């Protein structure tokens, strides 16, 4: 059976008469809706090829990240339940040009008038740092237009949409008038020069001094440190256990900037373990470690693709905080990346000082909330937003 026929057969009962699945849209792109996980898996090779065309190589756009996210992190509770609703767009030749990995999140917690929120995979405690449509750059605006046509024809499907990863023009187009819009998300990245000396030369005087102190302070107190890179699948499991322990220690520290324990719940740890295994099998996982006197005191996860390194979460033993072991580890990572002739180190999202001191470039992803034209939807959005301000609803949201 072809993929298209399989998807057509898996439609919900009311979709037969309403979904124009596979029909030409806007004269250029064809739209399919995926509602079942086995059809999602069938897209994996095409999906990853599409992900490889993006200017920034991040794990969150890959097929394995999204498929594993659905398996491990979707909501399936009385208060919140997610339904798969992935938009797949192809050009006239049948080539995959866009995937919008979305869910319809049913939230009956607002008792008599439950709401349906259409949102991207990644509704988690910031495990998925970047969310949005995976789309070939040449088709971004056309894909948005196709989805808008579909959503107008199926307004009963959703009450509002949480768009992410948009251009400024797309965000302006999709933002509901009079609705407070979410802040843009900044991603910091550092194009790499040919040598470590070139990189260090362009840093501020304060940063150069910080680099010098990192190494001198350990040496002065008689401590020996070593840098290691874990990449072989057989070594991943113990390295992940060490990372999780250090990540938790960092989150428990009352000093400095607060960093939450993103992997505090079991299903988040299971997801990380599953994705790390998949990335390792493809040669894309690196777990960086800094040891002092033979014991690992700092660790950071990295994902490698097409000569780009994405630096994910970290952790460290706070007993060694006065030696700036996280900065020392990052210095070694930069040196390693340059030695391996990588083009770019992505420092992930957020503009905290630990990133800005490297003087990175910034890529800004805009977000928008779009309200359904249904009469009830504007009222429901305002009511739900108001309820979210209460501690009880905040706790429910965090558990998702």
Burial group, residue 393, by CB count within 10 angstroms (0-12, 13-18, 19+): middle
Print the SS3 string covering the chain.
CCHHHHHHHCCCCCHHHHCCCCCEECCCEEEEEECCHHHHHHCHHHHHHHHCCCCCCCHHHCHHHHHHHHHHHCCECCCCEEEECEEEEECCCCCEEEEECEEEEEECCCCCCCEEEEEECCCCCCCCCCCCCEECHHHHHHHHHHHHHHHHHCHHHCCEEEEEEECHHHHHHHCCCCCCCCCCEEEEEEECCCCHHHHHHCCCHHHHHHHHHHHHHHHHCCCCEEEEEECCHHHHHHHHHHHHHHHHHHHHCCCCCCCCCCCCCHHHHHHHHHHHHHHHHCCCEEEEEEEECCEEEEEEEEEEECCEEEEEEEEECHHHHHHCHHHHHHHHHHHHHHHCCCCEEEEEECCCHHHHCCCCEEEEEEEEEEECCCHHHHHHHHHHHHHHCCHHHHHHHHHC
Confidence band for 7, pLDDT divided at 50, 70 and 90: very low
> What's the rounded Cα separation, in Å, for the pair 166 and 390?
29
pLDDT digits 0-9 by tens, 307-346: 999 999 999 999 999 999 999 999 999 999 999 999 999 9
Q: Is 198 found in the same domain as 131?
A: no
> What's the rounded Cα separation, in Å, for the pair 47 and 65?
11
Confidence band for 390, pLDDT divided at 50, 70 and 90: low
* 167-178 mean pLDDT: 95
Residue with tokens 């808008």: 148
Q: Is the predicted pLDDT of residue 400 greater than 90, yes or no?
A: no
Which candidate, 1, 3, 7, places its Cα nearest to that of 36?
A: 7
Supply 22's token pair.
């596979």
CB 326 within 8 A of CB 354: yes
> What's the rounded Cα separation, in Å, for the pair 15 and 17?
6
Q: Is 329 found in the same domain as 392?
A: no
Q: Is 243 found in the same domain as 161?
A: no
Q: Is 262 found in the same domain as 209?
A: yes
* 77-87 mean pLDDT: 91
- Structural domain includes residue 379: yes
* 158-167 mean pLDDT: 96
pLDDT digits 0-9 by tens, 270-305: 999 999 999 999 999 999 999 999 999 999 999 999
* 136-147 mean pLDDT: 95
* 214-220 mean pLDDT: 94
- Check which CATH number belongs to the domain holding 55 and give it: 3.40.630.30
Q: Is 373 found in the same domain as 294?
A: no
Q: Is 169 found in the same domain as 25?
A: yes
Q: Is 270 found in the same domain as 199?
A: yes
Name the domain count of the chain.
Answer: 2
Distances (CA, A) of 46 to 52, 63, 64, 73, 135: 10, 9, 12, 23, 12
Q: Is 304 found in the same domain as 269?
A: yes
- Structural domain includes residue 355: no
Which candidate, 82, 54, 48, 144, places its Cα nearest to that of 370?
A: 144
* 206-217 mean pLDDT: 95
Q: Is 163 found in the same domain as 87?
A: yes
pLDDT score recorded for residue 5: 39
Q: Is 266 found in the same domain as 145?
A: no
User: In what order do the strands lie in the sheet containing 96-100?
Assistant: 24-25, 29-34, 86-90, 96-100, 134-135
Q: Is 76 found in the same domain as 25?
A: yes
Which candidate, 231, 333, 241, 338, places its Cα nearest to that of 284?
A: 231
- Structural domain includes residue 338: yes
Confidence band for 347, pLDDT divided at 50, 70 and 90: very high
pTM: 0.89
Confidence band for 254, pLDDT divided at 50, 70 and 90: confident
Supply 131's token pair.
């969310």
* More reliable by pLDDT, 13 or 118: 118
Q: Is 240 found in the same domain as 171?
A: no
Domain that holds residue 321: 193-342
- Structural domain includes residue 316: yes
- Structural domain includes residue 357: no
């Amino acid at each position: 059976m072809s993929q298209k026929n399989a998807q057509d057969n898996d439609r919900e009962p009311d979709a037969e008469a309403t979904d124009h699945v596979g029909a030409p849209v806007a004269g250029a792109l064809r739209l399919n809706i995926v509602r079942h996980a086995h059809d999602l898996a069938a897209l994996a090779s095409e999906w990853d090829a599409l992900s490889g065309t993006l200017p920034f190589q991040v794990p969150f756009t890959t097929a394995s990240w999204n498929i594993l996210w659905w398996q491990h992190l979707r909501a399936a509770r009385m208060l919140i339940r997610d339904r798969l609703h992935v938009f797949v767009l192809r050009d006239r030749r049948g080539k995959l040009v866009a995937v919008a990995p979305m869910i319809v999140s049913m939230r009956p917690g607002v008792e008599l008038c439950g709401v349906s929120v259409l949102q991207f995979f990644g509704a988690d405690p910031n495990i998925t740092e970047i969310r949005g449509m995976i789309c070939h750059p040449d088709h971004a605006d056309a894909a948005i237009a196709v989805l808008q046509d579909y959503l107008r024809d199926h307004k009963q499907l959703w009450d509002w949409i949480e768009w992410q990863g948009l251009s400024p023009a797309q965000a302006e187009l999709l933002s509901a008038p009079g609705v407070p819009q979410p802040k843009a998300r900044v991603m910091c990245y550092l194009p790499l020069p040919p040598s470590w000396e070139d990189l260090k030369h362009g840093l501020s005087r304060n940063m150069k001094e910080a680099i010098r102190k990192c190494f001198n302070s350990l040496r002065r107190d008689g401590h020996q440190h070593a840098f290691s890179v874990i990449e072989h699948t057989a070594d991943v499991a113990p390295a992940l256990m060490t990372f999780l322990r250090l990540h938790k220690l960092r989150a428990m520290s009352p000093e400095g900037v607060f960093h939450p324990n993103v992997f505090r719940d079991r299903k988040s740890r299971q997801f990380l373990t599953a994705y790390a295994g998949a990335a390792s099998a493809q040669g894309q996982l690196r777990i960086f470690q800094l040891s002092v006197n033979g014991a690992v005191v700092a660790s950071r996860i990295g994902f490698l693709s097409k000569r780009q390194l994405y630096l994910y979460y970290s952790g460290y033993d706070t007993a060694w905080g006065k030696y700036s072991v996280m900065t020392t580890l990052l210095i070694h990572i930069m040196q390693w990346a340059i030695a391996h002739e990588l083009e770019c180190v992505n420092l992930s999202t957020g503009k905290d000082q630990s990133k800005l001191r490297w003087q990175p470039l910034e890529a800004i992803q805009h977000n928008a909330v779009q309200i359904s034209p249904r009469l009830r939807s504007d009222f429901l959005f305002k009511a739900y937003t108001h309820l979210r301000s209460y501690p009880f609803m905040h706790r429910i949201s965090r558990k998702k």
